[in-house]
């Protein structure tokens, strides 16, 4: 049966089925610094590597979200910077007919998992092209990190509510 717009509904509920897809992925920002070159190449010993991650999400259109995986790496040796890399790697995701309560877990757990291998390669290539051995990051369990953050946020909200109740 056609609706008033003349559009026929799709068979088997295909027009209401949840759908998620990666539209595109890209380097949003990349910075590599080698402030102590060429002296750094004479340094002895392994540098200390500090890796920080941050995930952000923006809604671009009704069914389109951008997820940005930001990776900051700083390598130091004897309190001097060997190299520093800042990478913002993004994925554009189409999300349709997904329940509202499942969108945030997808954006902050599953989407970063999908783009991470590509961000990891860009980071390794940048470090290698800077004159150092490629930095190969271990796989990350973004789902577990999301659950930890959600639990910490829930505990923080309960603590804030308890303080308000005592005030």
- Would you say residue 1 lies in a domain? no
Write out the DSSP string of the chain: ---TTSPPPPGGGTTTS-EEEEEEEEEEEEEEE-TTTTGGGG--SPPEEEEEEEEEEEEEETTEEEEEEEEEEEEEETTEEEEEEEEEEEEEEEEES--HHHHHHIIIIIHHHHHHHHHHHHHHHHHHHTTS----PPP--HHHHHHHHHHHHHHHHHHHHHHHHH-
What pLDDT does 79 receive?
86
Query: 137-162 pLDDT, tens per residue?
Result: 999 999 998 999 888 888 877 766 65
- Would you say residue 107 lies in a domain? yes
- Would you say residue 39 lies in a domain? yes
- Would you say residue 152 lies in a domain? yes
pLDDT above 70 covers a percentage of the chain that reads 86
Tell me which of 78 and 12 has the higher pLDDT.
78
Contact 118, 89 (CB under 8 A): yes
- Would you say residue 4 lies in a domain? no
pLDDT value at 12 more than 60: no
The CATH number given to whatever domain includes residue 57 is 3.10.420.10
pLDDT value at 106 more than 50: yes
Query: 42-80 pLDDT, tens per residue?
Result: 998 889 999 999 999 999 999 999 999 999 999 999 889
- Would you say residue 5 lies in a domain? no
What pLDDT does 149 receive?
87
Tokens linked to 53: 């991650």
Domain with 59, as residue range(s), is 18-162
- Would you say residue 2 lies in a domain? no
- Would you say residue 8 lies in a domain? no
Closest CA to 115 of 147, 88, 97, 153: 88
Q: How many domains does the chain have?
A: 1
Is it true that the peptide bond before 15 is cis, omega within 30 degrees of 0? no
Contact 47, 132 (CB under 8 A): no
């Amino acid at each position: 049966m056609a609706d008033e717009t003349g559009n026929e509904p799709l068979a088997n509920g295909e027009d209401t089925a949840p759908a998620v897809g990666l539209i595109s992925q890209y380097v949003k920002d990349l910075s590599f610094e080698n402030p102590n070159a060429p002296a750094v190449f004479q340094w002895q010993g392994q540098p200390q590597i500090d890796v920080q991650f941050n995930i952000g999400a923006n809604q671009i259109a009704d069914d389109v979200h951008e997820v940005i995986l930001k990776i900051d790496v700083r390598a130091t040796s004897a309190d001097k910077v060997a190299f520093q890399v800042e990478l913002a790697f993004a994925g554009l995701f189409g999300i349709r007919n997904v329940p509202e309560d499942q969108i945030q877990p997808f954006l902050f757990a599953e989407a970063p998992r999908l783009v991470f291998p590509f961000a990891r390669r860009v980071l390794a290539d940048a470090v290698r092209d800077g004159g150092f051995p490629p930095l190969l990051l271990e796989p990350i369990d973004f789902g577990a990190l999301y659950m930890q953050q959600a639990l910490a946020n829930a505990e923080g909200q309960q603590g804030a509510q308890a303080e308000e109740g005592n005030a």
